[in-house]
Structure 1
Amino acid sequence: MSLKIDGMTPLLQVFDMPASLAFYRDILGFERVSDSGAGDASDWVWLRLDGVDLMLNTRYEAEHRPAAPDPARIAVHDDTGLFFGCRDVDAAYAYLLSKGLRPKPPIVTGYGMKQLYVNDPDGYVLCFQRQG
């Protein structure tokens, strides 16, 4: 018998929950499933888009949050990627441009994936991709 799983929900630590929600909810279209009870000021939020789940958790409780994020911490996020299956990468690119983001145009990799990359407010890399 093998292990049976029904999905996966990444948890990202974020510096500014309202900024992260503005990106994931208001730009990408994720919907709030649940939160820790303070709306946009919650320290934890569970989001979902088309059956894809994502949780966000603040790095600092509000009373301990510094005035600005630690640049060294943000710098290491560029190697943390979330890869989303996306049937129409070109349409995703046009959509992100229409929302004011400026990702580089999609590319086709040497291993046959068409990919579009964008960074979230905390520097995490998001890739929207499809085969060929």
Structure 2
Amino acid sequence: MQPRPGTSNGIGVQATVPVLASLNLAETLRFYTARLGFAALLEMDNYLILQRDGCELHFWPCNDRHIAENTSCYVRGDTAALHADFTARGLQLAPPIVQPWGMKEMFVIDPHGNLLKFGEPA
């Protein structure tokens, strides 16, 4: 019997990991560690891996700001707790709001234009 679409037999997809553009990997590292509480897992001249609470974000060097400004990722988490943490770290953020699609969300735009949407079921 075949599994129905969107399910598996215990093998296959375990996680998704966004790979975002960075105009300057050192600047990306500083912003994500100081303002968003991530820690570096890997720092190379041409790649950066950051982690917070089991969530990984990867970054590649890119000279085209247009790419970063048209890239986003969705991160599931406790938006109230994240908002409190991020603002305590100096970010000026609007508070999370409940969207018509039933998610409580907030967003952060990094220094290169990548959009990070943080959300949880309302």
Q: Among 3, 9, 33, which residue is 2:17 paired with?
A: 9
Q: CA deviation at 1:27?
A: 2.0
After TM superposition, the score normalised by the length of structure 1 is: 0.75
1:100 has 2:108 as partner = no
Q: Distance in 2 between matches of 1:94 and 1:27?
A: 11
Would the aligned equivalents of 2:39 and 2:52 in 1 still touch at CA under 8 Å? yes
SS in structure 2 opposite 1:55?
strand
Q: CA deviation at 1:121?
A: 0.9
> 1:22: which partner in 2?
30
- The one-letter code of the counterpart of 2:91 is L
Would the aligned equivalents of 2:29 and 2:40 in 1 still touch at CA under 8 Å? no
Q: Which runs of 4+ in 1 moved over 2 A?
A: none
- The one-letter code of the counterpart of 1:103 is L
> 2:112: which partner in 1?
122
Percentage of matched positions with identical amino acids: 28
Q: Distance in 2 between matches of 1:32 and 1:99?
A: 17
SS in structure 2 opposite 1:29?
coil
Q: Distance in 2 between matches of 1:33 and 1:117?
A: 24
SS in structure 2 opposite 1:35?
strand
SS in structure 1 opposite 2:90?
coil
Q: CA deviation at 1:91?
A: 2.2
> CA-atom RMSD, angstroms?
2.1
Q: Matched residue pairs, number?
A: 114
Q: CA deviation at 1:80?
A: 2.4
Q: Distance in 1 between matches of 2:80 and 2:14?
A: 29
> 1:65: which partner in 2?
none
Q: Distance in 1 between matches of 2:43 and 2:27?
A: 15
Q: CA deviation at 1:122?
A: 0.8
Question: Structure 2: which 5+ runs fail to align?
Answer: 3-7
Q: Among 37, 57, 71, which residue is 1:80 paired with?
A: 71
